[in-house]
Structure 1
Amino acid sequence: MDWKNKRVLVTGAGGFIGSNLVEALVLRGAKVTCFLRYKASGDKGALDFLAPEVRESLTITSGDLADPATAAALVEGQQVVFHLAALVGIPYSYIHPIEVVRTNTLGTAYLLEACRNRGIERIVCFSTSEVYGTALYAPIDEDHPLQAQSPYAASKIGSDQIALSFFRSFGVPACIVRPFNTFGPRQSSRAVIPTIITQALKGGAVRLGAVSPTRDLCYVGDTAEGVIRMCEVPESVGEVINIGTGSEISIGALAERIFAILGRKPEIITDEKRLRPEKSEVMRLIADGRKAQRLLGWAPRTSLDEGLSRTIDWIRANPGFFKVEDYHV
């Protein structure tokens, strides 16, 4: 696919992965429209931290995706859609489960209907490895059973199935990208890696939830490349494809890895309010990435230590991006 002057809509563009994807698309010459959840403050999220020449090339709009008129207007005139918009906090989904389902599942349905009516060339819908729940076997391939261990995971399972149903029922050229645990610059302190780094840089003890669960950590630049390949490869239409490294590390070992890079040895304290309910905690996630390699020709290039070092450098350079004192749900 030639991205030069391609009209591309990115929903959830103000988020961590969204902003990195927007940046990669602009560098390829695409004309990018960014959709953000409405905020009265005018805050553009992570887009505010892009280089000025990238920001100036963007068309930015906001609203509520769980409104069919908004979805229809967004898609008008676009050729490709990357759909990332979602309420992504698992702890947030414990507090506001109905809002999470409304935004994530119903919002996706409205956007797909708009794409169906306007002949979009491709829509890439973002899923999450959380839909698999704790691994029943490892590594986790795309045929692994789906297990909703949080309202957030359930909302994303619903979103995925609606997207696949639109492909099978109406021929909408939809595909599902299922990233495992992406990390890197511009990730909020809701995520575990920025949580560890910001607390360790501040000094004193580092407060975490459970440290025994394992995660498959993929650098955001690699994730963005895999997502873009989903649009470039015709065989991805109607498919679900994992994006992950095939390696896992426990949260405790991850913290020690970060401490070693920082040259610090803070105490780790278990913070009860950061613990998930017992049956909701996903204990093990590790991707089987062979389908991405086979269909997309994609594999991660950035090592964990290199990605962590880049992330630490960015956090040091942008301390105003984070509120270290707060626990974000």
Structure 2
Amino acid sequence: MNKVLVTGADGFIGSHLVEYLLGRGYSVRAMVLYNAFNSWGWLDALPPALRDAIEVVAGDVRDSRSVREALRGCDTVFHLAALIAIPYSYLAPASYIDTNVLGTLNVLEAARELGVRVVHTSTSEVYGSAQRVPIDEDHPLQAQSPYAASKIGADQLALSYYRSFDLPVAVIRPFNTYGPRQSARAFIPTVIGQIAAGAREVRLGAVSPTRDLNYVLDTVRGFEAVARCDAALGQVINIGSNFEISVGDTAQLIAEVMGVEIELVCDEARLRPAASEVERLWADNRRAHELTGWQPDYAGVDGLRRGLALTAAWFRDPANLARYKVDRYNL
């Protein structure tokens, strides 16, 4: 890979991926969502020297022409652009089809025309509540939200282009990623933000579901490993820690890391519809290791504690915390 495009580069994982790839010596073009404020999202938070090294293009994956122009001259595209908030998908499902499915179609068509390798981003949400654990890539898919349904559609579309047109496509399926710059709609920054703002009664939705939590540096290393692996083409590859922990236990671990005692309070506004809640996620990451050599550096409870400490330290910086509305529930 010489020159790469990252769609969704203005987001949480996308901005970390851009930062990581620059550090690895890649020439990076970053596609950000066009807006009237000329904001590059989280890329604006990078040090000036890094920002100067990025070729930023503003556009929209829903527009086929802007996608084609963004891909022109690139060897590989990391396709991360998506709507990802599960609660908002209950309110605006059509927008998830437009962005996640049709946007992916535009990326695949442009990549096919221009001869660009595609690393398509999936999500562990496509598995739904685990029917067996750990969850391997052959686990049945079950959409328990419009968001998950849109991602299943996008994943299958990407794989169809590999099978139908021999397009070099790999599907990377990260489990729950956390770290600095994550949206407050996710539960880890919600807990950290409330504690950092002085709250000791922490408001959450369901605390019994379990998740496989991955520090963002492990996730972005997985993206590079999959992109560089020819054996990954046509494959779905889990990126997870192979460690399961409940939402409630994670919140208490965050409190321990931050040196406080908290009480968890159920906020009904944060609860998913009962049949939509994914109760259990736990990744089988053997395929990632066997094909690419990737393995997590922040695995197990000790690794999670280290990752949470790094994340909490970032949020405790007043300049960073000020970017969040910690007193409000974010869809």
Q: Deviations over 1:14-71 (max 9, x none)?
A: 1111011101111111111111112222222111111221111111122221121122
TM-superposed CA distance for 1:115, in Å, is 0.3
Q: Does 1:196 align with 2:191?
A: yes
Local SS of the residue matching 2:106: helix
Partner AA of 2:4 in structure 1: V
C-alpha distance in 1 between matches for 2:187 and 2:58: 28
Matched residue, 1:234:
230
Partner AA of 2:185 in structure 1: R
Q: 1:269-308 alignment to 2 at 5 Å?
A: 269-302=265-298, 303-308=303-308
Q: Does 1:32 align with 2:34?
A: no
* Aligned CA-pair RMSD: 0.9
C-alpha distance in 2 between matches for 1:39 and 1:269: 37
Q: 1:204-219 alignment to 2 at 5 Å?
A: 204=199, 205-219=201-215
TM-superposed CA distance for 1:321, in Å, is 2.6
Q: Deviations over 1:251-306 (max 9, x none)?
A: 10000001111111122111111000001000000000010110011110121000
Q: Does 1:178 align with 2:180?
A: no
C-alpha distance in 2 between matches for 1:14 and 1:245: 25
Local SS of the residue matching 2:135: coil
Q: Deviations over 1:227-247 (max 9, x none)?
A: 100111110111000000111
TM-superposed CA distance for 1:180, in Å, is 0.2
| Alignment counterpart, residue 158 of structure 1, candidates 153, 159, 169 | 153
Q: 1:136-147 alignment to 2 at 5 Å?
A: 136-147=131-142
Matched residue, 2:311:
311
Instruction: Structure 1: state its 5+ residue gaps.
Output: none
Q: Deviations over 1:63-120 (max 9, x none)?
A: 2211211221111111110000000100110111001111000110111000000111
Q: 1:1-329 alignment to 2 at 5 Å?
A: 6-120=2-116, 122-204=117-199, 205-302=201-298, 303-317=303-317, 318-329=320-331
Q: Do 1:131 and 1:146's aligned partners in 2 also have CA atoms closer than 8 Å? A: yes
Q: Which TM-score applies when normalising by structure 2?
A: 0.96
Q: Do 1:203 and 1:266's aligned partners in 2 also have CA atoms closer than 8 Å? A: no
Q: Do 1:197 and 1:312's aligned partners in 2 also have CA atoms closer than 8 Å? A: yes
Q: Quick one: percent identity of the two aligned structures?
A: 52
Structure 1 residue runs of 4+, over 4 Å off? none
Partner AA of 1:62 in structure 2: A
Q: Do 1:182 and 1:217's aligned partners in 2 also have CA atoms closer than 8 Å? A: yes
Local SS of the residue matching 1:56: helix
Local SS of the residue matching 1:252: helix
Kindly tell me the number of residue pairs found equivalent between the two proteins.
324
C-alpha distance in 2 between matches for 1:249 and 1:39: 38
Q: Deviations over 1:118-147 (max 9, x none)?
A: 111x21000000000000000000000000
C-alpha distance in 1 between matches for 2:67 and 2:43: 21
Partner AA of 1:304 in structure 2: L
**In terms of mean alpha carbon deviation, does 66-75 or 280-289 score higher?**
66-75
